[in-house]
Structure 1
Amino acid sequence: MVPLKRRKLVPSHAGNTGTNLSGEKVPAKFPQVVLFLLERKMGASRRAFLSQLGRKKGFQVEEMLSKSVTHLISENNSGAEVRAWLDSQDQKPAHLLDISWYTESMREGHPVEILDRHKLQDQRINEAEVEVFSVPSYACQRRTTLDNHNTTLTDALSLLAENAELSDEEGRGVAFRRAAAVLKALPKPVTSMSQLRGLPCLGEHSLRVVKDILENGASSEAESTKQSGRYNALKALTGIFGVGAKTADRWIREGIRSLQQLQDSGQTLNRAQQAGLEHYDDINQPVTKAEADAIGEIVERAVVSVLPGAQMSLIGGFRRGKLTGHDVDFLITHPEEGREVGLMPKVVARLESQGFLLYQKTTRNSYLESNDGPARPASNIDRFERCFSIFKLAKEEKRGATQPETLTENGVQILQTKPARHKPWRAVRVDLVVSPISQFAFALLGWTGSKLFERELRRWAGHEKAMSLSSHALYDNKQISESDVGGGDICTSWFGVHPTVREERLTRLLSPYRRTKRSPI
């Protein structure tokens, strides 16, 4: 065996300090851990980059092997090769570790526990023996878990997806969301790119991000996005209730990049935006499950008081098991078809008279209207009657003593807060949706989410089953085609619900689905 190139041994004190982003020397956070990266098969440039990254993270990284080194890090070398080289040296570090331990430590920001898989093996593991993950192509076919084993990977992809969505690049945003969803579904942490062979929804861009994190502990693209002034401005402005990406982009082009600049600009704001700006601090705080339950009790009392027998369900992320969310959604119906008509205005009036609504806007049900027929939806969500509101929720005593902190992104203030003062209530975004009982099952499914799950479920229905799924019903496209050439009123649905509609109205209603049934819904 050819020994590795002998390196001159000299005492090194350079590793006792690291450098921050300004180039200033700072004490190592973990003085008991002294690292040395072996250059062989790693390369000088990569070794220099990884050493610099480690020092920025607070690790003590020596340039040369010395008696103080406790962890020797190697890449693509077997344990036998490294030990053969150490036999010719006077120093033998306590731990001979693979690069995977180093990258995982960089990712976590501290030295991780040394496991057997981190230790150098006498023989390199055959790539063909690495466990390769396998998941179904559609998100709706995969088990959804709250236990994410690849948080670092999915957080980076979700950040890039959010940036794409804020930049009105929906296609790129969906691609990153799908890639993140695949990684969330994996039963174990990803430690090698070879484990991802054959997985669906992982495009070249997403794979580059994953590889960067596995090798360097962080994604350079994600870190650059976090530092982007445009991204931070878009995130701050779209945090205002009633402000979308296009409005925020227009304001940025006009030189408005913060809430203070917006307030000073004299921009004309609609009612929703005025309310969103006024209650910005509260709305951008996470809503807890306890707060959602408290709001649910208030809303349910109002619903039952104006329509006895009405039923209400908590939907959205809380129904999926999440402990916090950005808003609270409720779906309301009545077991007797038609009794729900006119319910929303009465509920809203009741809540307003009790002082619970700081803002509200109600939209009517446009699914099938007796006078003007099926209406085109304002969006691809649904056409139910709904109320978008900002709810006034009394604080519990234990929460009343604390005040919202000023939100910052990378040290830059994005939230203009008012002087701290005791306020016995907080503002919470609440959406109320009313559905007929015949469409309740579909509405419950559609409003439970997540957004990507619903998109994938509808795509699967269209591509694999030749059916059109919405939050109102499920239609068999093949049977609809038969009705177009003289068949009767045919409408097939799941959950035992069979909406009956006249042929001409059904044809008009489903015309947009038939034109796009080969495209993702």
Structure 2
Amino acid sequence: MALSFPVIFLLSANLGSKELQDLEEQIPTLTYDINEAEVILGKISRKERALFELRKHKLVTEEIHSLERSPSTPTTPDRKRARLQTPAQASSDIDSDTASDNEVQRRLVGPAPVVPTVKVVKLTWFTDSIQGGEVVPIDDYVVYEGRKVPKPPVEAPQLGPAEKAAEVIQRALADAGSTLLRSPRPGPPRGRRGETYVSHPVRPTLVRQSTSEHEIETQLPPIPEYLHTTYSCQRPTPNHPPNEAFIEELAKIKTARTLTGDKIGVRAYSSAIATIAAYPALTEVARLPGCGNKIALLFQEFRDTGQIREAREDESDPKLAVLKLFYNIWGVAETTARDFYNRGWRDLDDIVEYGWDTLTRVQQIGVKYYDELQLPIPRAEVEAIAGVILAHANQVRAGFEMVIVGGYRRGKAASGDVDVVLSHRDERATQDLVGRVVVGLERAGYVTHTLSLATTNSERGQAPLAWKGNAPRRGRAGAGFDTLDKALVVWQDPNPNPDLDPDPDPARNRSRNPNPHRRVDIIVSPWKTAGCAVLGWTSGTTFQRDLRRYCKRERLLKFDSSGVRSRRDGAWVDLESGPDGKPAPDMLTAERRVFEGLGLEWRPPEERCTG
């Protein structure tokens, strides 16, 4: 039975991206609007930090002191609040001789309005509740409690005669199209060693709506049935949706939010993009799940101007351009990109000159082959690479099957890397296979660097891993998530393309191979969970996130590409065998059975392009 939590807003401060994502998936009453929250949850322990976070999120409160609280009076309002004012009764209904002044006032205006309150609470309150199986009393975890103070209305300033005259002149010049009063927008300061990046403010836009537009919106057809869900895994999302141009603008804003560390914003834009991509004809936005007024205003601006100013400003921001350059280095996440920037580095040469020895091996490879690894991989080359991998697996033992996953399977014309899933009907064949395949590819000259080789699944005998809930993990970090055997390698075809290099001398060709280096992931799955592996490695990021969220909230299951486990007892759930207990005849049939076992309508890979 799901625990009954109040509405919670999660602070991203002091949380890593993986920890933040895990917590968001666990909170059943999560909101991304801090003004809606009854509890603000965070990894904080001091009132000063709590007040700082409230100020940062522009939530104004006044502190409730301990003497003001009453054990019988809740500190958070009931969801069904009483009306703030009731109609006044006739004076004849009030006995003024027996009623006190307060009673008369109460009867005239009704009960006093309930002032919304909010509590900033330590993260351990939520984790203790989850581990204990019940919502524990919150009082011992409260860092700060306050009443929400409504923002005062902005009053127009009273102008004197001289100020009024100046205002008239200002308006006249503006109407005439004068640019004399416009001050040039200052450019960002030149980069200095050690400065911290702060994203530029976005100017608000005024969206005008005609009467005819309003009438059209009131007569809009109902939202399609498949869009009533908030789970993108229940919707068809094509590779090239009708609203692709608008989505590209939103994706630019999402990228900027990623680079500046706005994790909540990234999650919100990801959900909005996935919904809009599934909508057939975009004439409205605010009613769509995961969107709202913000996205609606951006769509209005896009419809009127053909672009979004915030996206244009992000593209022209030189600091964001540097962060994006660093972020595209293989092995560099957004946090590391900002760290590079704050060290004063502005290009790859700075990284090599000032910080080469501080880079991981993956990052050094990413810098060394930066230009080559940015090149898109055509579908024909993806198929050729996959064919070589399958041939080497069958040299180890005949009978291996393979599915090319990732963007290739979703129908992309070109891919950023190559992802393949290998499996065999005999479970003994997949035991320790990944290492032997990589060694063979290295000897054949295809793999130039092996950056990561995980054999977690083989180390435990390929037995399905029971999910241990929220208990602390011991040993290897992340041991409960996607524990398949896999290798992350750098690939280069050792056979030069004569169209690129007509030199017939093989000795010289080996010394200066013109073929670009590629990123390749080789995943090995036992046959009994191959359907989960193919599903997990095929689908878009938001599709996968919503699939895990759907399994958790609707099915009480834990899903990842290494299998499905029950959240009740942690046991492995076999969704891929047939009614007779026999395994699936092939990997794609196994994937379809996972959809069916989860109660989901089958979606072909081309309809899982959520980004």
Measured against the shorter chain, the TM-score band is: 0.5 to 0.7
* Count of residue pairs brought into register by the alignment: 356
AA aligned opposite 2:483 = R
Segment of structure 1 superposing worse, 359-368 or 149-158: 359-368
1:496 and 2:577 aligned: yes
The unaligned stretches of length 5 or more in structure 2 are: 1-172, 179-207, 467-474, 503-510, 583-611
The unaligned stretches of length 5 or more in structure 1 are: 1-43, 50-73, 79-99, 101-123, 402-420, 482-489, 500-521
Q: CA RMSD in A?
A: 3.3
For the Cα contact (< 8 Å) 1:395–1:426, is it kept in 2? Answer: no
For the Cα contact (< 8 Å) 1:209–1:221, is it kept in 2? Answer: no
Q: Return the offset for 1:347.
A: 0.8
AA aligned opposite 1:262 = I
For the Cα contact (< 8 Å) 1:400–1:422, is it kept in 2? Answer: no
For the Cα contact (< 8 Å) 2:431–2:458, is it kept in 1? Answer: no
1:379-418 equivalences in 2 (<5 Å): 382-393=482-493, 394=495, 396-398=497-499
Q: Return the offset for 1:198.
A: 2.1
Q: Compared with structure 1, are the counterparts of its residues 276 and 326 closer, same or farther at alpha carbon in structure 2 (3 Å cutoff)?
A: same
1:81-96 equivalences in 2 (<5 Å): none
Segment of structure 1 superposing worse, 134-143 or 424-433: 134-143
1:49-64 equivalences in 2 (<5 Å): none
Aligned pair partner of 1:218 in 289, 302, 307? 307
Q: Return the offset for 1:451.
A: 1.1
1:449 and 2:563 aligned: no
For the Cα contact (< 8 Å) 2:492–2:515, is it kept in 1? Answer: yes
Q: Return the offset for 1:46.
A: 11
**Equivalent in the alignment of 2:85:** none
AA aligned opposite 1:209 = L
For the Cα contact (< 8 Å) 1:242–1:273, is it kept in 2? Answer: yes
1:286-341 superposed Cα distances (whole Å, 9 cap, x missing partner): 11111101101111111111122122221111111112111000111111113211
1:62-101 equivalences in 2 (<5 Å): 76=210
User: In 2, Cα distance between the equivalents of 1:266 and 1:129?
Assistant: 60
User: In 2, Cα distance between the equivalents of 1:75 and 1:496?
Assistant: 56
1:30-429 equivalences in 2 (<5 Å): 76=210, 126-131=216-221, 133-134=223-224, 135=227, 136-188=229-281, 190=282, 192=283, 195-268=284-357, 269-367=359-457, 369-370=459-460, 377-378=477-478, 382-393=482-493, 394=495, 396-398=497-499, 424-429=514-519
Normalised to the residue count of structure 2, the TM-score between the two structures is 0.53
User: In 1, Cα distance between the equivalents of 2:390 and 2:176?
Assistant: 62
**Equivalent in the alignment of 2:70:** none
**Equivalent in the alignment of 2:197:** none
User: In 2, Cα distance between the equivalents of 1:281 and 1:209?
Assistant: 34
User: In 1, Cα distance between the equivalents of 2:285 and 2:492?
Assistant: 47
Q: Return the offset for 1:126.
A: 4.0
Q: Return the offset for 1:381.
A: 5.3
AA aligned opposite 1:465 = R
1:257-311 superposed Cα distances (whole Å, 9 cap, x missing partner): 2112222224313322222222111100111111101101111111111122122
Aligned to 1:426, what secondary structure does the other structure show? Answer: coil
Q: Compared with structure 1, are the counterparts of its residues 76 and 204 closer, same or farther at alpha carbon in structure 2 (3 Å cutoff)?
A: closer
Q: Compared with structure 1, are the counterparts of its residues 366 and 423 closer, same or farther at alpha carbon in structure 2 (3 Å cutoff)?
A: closer
Segment of structure 1 superposing worse, 332-341 or 452-461: 332-341
Normalised to the residue count of structure 1, the TM-score between the two structures is 0.62
Aligned pair partner of 1:434 in 524, 529, 554? 524
Query: Bigger relative contact order, structure 1 or 2, given CA contacts below 8 A and separation 6+?
Result: 2
For the Cα contact (< 8 Å) 1:315–1:331, is it kept in 2? Answer: yes
Aligned to 2:522, what secondary structure does the other structure show? Answer: strand
User: In 2, Cα distance between the equivalents of 1:379 and 1:174?
Assistant: 25
User: In 2, Cα distance between the equivalents of 1:350 and 1:178?
Assistant: 42
AA aligned opposite 2:256 = N
